[in-house]
Structures are given as C-alpha cells and as structure tokens.
Amino acid sequence: MQAFSYVSARTLSEAADILAREGDQAKCLSGGTDLIVFLREGRRSAKVVVDVKGIPELNQLSYSPKEGLTIGAAVPLHRIYDDAQVNEHYPGLIDAATLIGGIAIQGRATLGGNVCTASPAGDSIPILIAYETTCIVASRSVTKAIPLEKFFVGPGRTALQPGELLVALKLPPPTPNSGAAYLRFTPRNEMDIAVASAGVVVVLDEDKMRFVGARIALGAVAPTPLFVPEAGAALAGQPVSDEAIEAAAQAAQAAARPITDMRGSAEQRKHLSYVMTKRALLKAIERARGGA
C-alpha cells in the first residue's frame, strides 16, 4: 500500500484543520471497509489519513421523540442494530444495517462511510433518503445541513467541498402510523452488492386504511441513489389498495435509469425497481399496521 501518515483526531476542529490544510490529500477514516480497500488498490491516494472515530460528535447515537435520531458519522453498524430505540422506531434502518457485508464488516463499517463512498448501490442510502435524513456537514469555518437526497452528485461523488467532513445524520422522529422497509435484490443472500433496491417509508391515516404520504428511493438503478418523489405522490390520499401500490411501483420503474453491468442488465434492473418497490411497500404497510 502507498505510504501515508496517520492522525487520530480527537476533536472536530483538529480534523477540520487537517482537511483544510491538505485538501483532497487528506482522507477521513471511519470503519475503513471502503477506504483501506481503495488505498490498497490505488483507487484513492492520501498523504494523510485522518481517523475520525475518536471525535465525540461523530460517535453520538441518540434518540428522542422530539428530536428524532442522531447518528454520528463514525458509529459502526453493530451499534446501530444493537440499539433498542433504533429497533423500535426505525426498523427500515435495521433492514439496511444488517445487510451490509457480514458480521466482521458490520463491526467496523459506518453509515457515514456508506454515504460518503456514494456508491449508487450503497445499501443504507435509499432507506435514509426515505426517512428524510439530513447530513450535518462541518468545515473549519461553517456547519451546514444538506438533505441527503441532494448529497450525491455522481457515482462516488458527494456535495462535500474540500475541507468539509460529515459529522452526523439526522432522522426526524417517525410520524405516527408510519412504517418503513428496505429490500435489495442480490443473487446471494449475504455478502453481495445490490442489483437493485428500494427503501420506503409510508404514513397511513389513523384507521390505517389510506395513505397520507410516502417517500420512496431506489438503489443501483441510476448514477446516484435515486429519490423518486412521484412514486410517493402516487400514494398520497389513496386507499391502501393493490391499485395504489401498483401505480407507485410503476412510477418507480419509470424513474429508474439503470445501466447493464456484470451484476445485471438494464432491463432486469428496470423490472426489479418495480418488484422491490412493491415488496418494500407491502412490508412497510404491514409494519405501519403493527406487524413486524
């Protein structure tokens, strides 16, 4: 592997100073399950690797009914799926966190890293978009909030500017009568990359017979994770019915702009956008109605 120096940052300002000074030759290290592979393969270069796991703001994991969920960018997946509050209030996030890699990957990998790698197939991203996640970004001089669906500008490219790092992801508190689910299609159950995936959050009315609204996002079917507002709009105000679900799944399929690669053809991915959306919606509705 190429030579670099290593700093374990203890504060946000220490990390931000190094990023400001070294520009793109400084790389943040969270769980390293992408970065170490990228550096070893020469797909990224670094003069200095800044370990951000020791920064308190990046390690917080807190939930309150008023504020919702705050997940520090460096919190590993195993902490997320072992957390009782996340299990209770954000089951769709558990779907994604337990799918990424295997147990040893989940011991290190973070949502912050998954989001910053910005793979179109990043498994946490569609469901985080559906949950209306905001990215808290900081540099030496500013802190700002970016809606996650605006965070991706191309395959592997984010809206982060030189000198900026991701501090945390903020999810609003779940709306009453809501449900969520993330599903991906892979040839193998574990340790594989999505051919196509869907993350959905539905909000039902009090009787749980009608959709109040929904947010739907797709993975691996466009150059970036894809938010499909029109698929959610197809459900708003509609009765919970096969027709409404069909219309939303059709809208998702119409929005998908996939490519053909070794994992699947564009045609298959188009079709999967429809199937994954439909199945994720059924699961989310079941959860909104009190099922597991």
Ligand X SMILES: Cc1cc2nc3c(=O)[nH]c(=O)nc-3n(C[C@H](O)[C@H](O)[C@H](O)COP(=O)(O)OP(=O)(O)OC[C@H]3O[C@@H](n4cnc5c(N)ncnc54)[C@H](O)[C@@H]3O)c2cc1C
Comparison of 17 and 51: residue with beta carbon closer to other proteins = 51
Stretch of residues binding ligand X (CB under 6 A), selected from 29-37, 172-180, 227-235, 284-292: 29-37
Q: Does 113 bind ligand X (CB under 6 A)?
A: yes
Options 127, 165, 201, 248; binder of ligand X; rule CB under 6 A? 165
Q: Does 180 bind ligand X (CB under 6 A)?
A: no
When CB distances are held under 5 to 8 angstroms depending on the partner's kind, the choice from other proteins, ligand X, none that residue 6 binds is other proteins
When CB distances are held under 5 to 8 angstroms depending on the partner's kind, the choice from other proteins, ligand X, none that residue 123 binds is ligand X
Stretch of residues binding ligand X (CB under 6 A), selected from 104-112, 199-207, 225-233, 265-273: 104-112
When CB distances are held under 5 to 8 angstroms depending on the partner's kind, the choice from other proteins, ligand X, none that residue 30 binds is ligand X
Contacts of 135 (CB under 8 A, 6+ apart): 115, 145, 146, 147, 148, 151, 166, 168, 169
**Tokens 């670094």, residue?**
46
CA distances from 81 to 127, 169, 188, 198, 202 (A): 15, 16, 22, 19, 21
**Least distance between other proteins and beta carbon 2 (Å):** 7
CA distance 168 to 142: 14
- Could you give the residue ranges of the DSSP H alpha helices within 25-100? 35-41, 77-81, 84-89, 91-97
Q: Does 16 bind ligand X (CB under 6 A)?
A: no
When CB distances are held under 5 to 8 angstroms depending on the partner's kind, the choice from ligand X, other proteins, none that residue 5 binds is other proteins
**Tokens 């609003």, residue?**
172
Q: Does 228 bind ligand X (CB under 6 A)?
A: no
CA distance 277 to 287: 15
When CB distances are held under 5 to 8 angstroms depending on the partner's kind, the choice from ligand X, other proteins, none that residue 116 binds is ligand X
Helix, strand, coil fractions of the chain, as percent rounded to 5: 35, 25, 40
Residue 64 corresponds to which amino acid?
S
Comparison of 109 and 256: residue with beta carbon closer to ligand X = 109
Instruction: Map residue 145 onto helix, strand or coil.
Output: strand
> Dihedrals φ, ψ of 256, to 5°?
-65, 135
**Least distance between other proteins and beta carbon 79 (Å):** 9
**Which residues make up the interface to other proteins (CB under 8 A)?**
1-6, 8, 29, 31-33, 36-37, 39-40, 49, 51, 76, 78, 101-105, 107-108, 189-191
**Least distance between ligand X and beta carbon 164 (Å):** 7
**Tokens 């670099």, residue?**
4
When CB distances are held under 5 to 8 angstroms depending on the partner's kind, the choice from other proteins, ligand X, none that residue 100 binds is ligand X
CA distance 214 to 90: 15
When CB distances are held under 5 to 8 angstroms depending on the partner's kind, the choice from other proteins, ligand X, none that residue 189 binds is other proteins
Structure tokens at 237: 């105000």
CB crowding 259-286: b at 16 or more within 10 Å, else e: eeeebbeeeebbbbbbbbbbbbbbbbbe
Comparison of 92 and 122: residue with beta carbon closer to ligand X = 122
Where do contacts with ligand X occur on this chain (CB under 6 A)?
Answer: 27-35, 37, 52, 73, 99-101, 105, 108-110, 112-114, 116-117, 122-123, 160, 165-166, 191
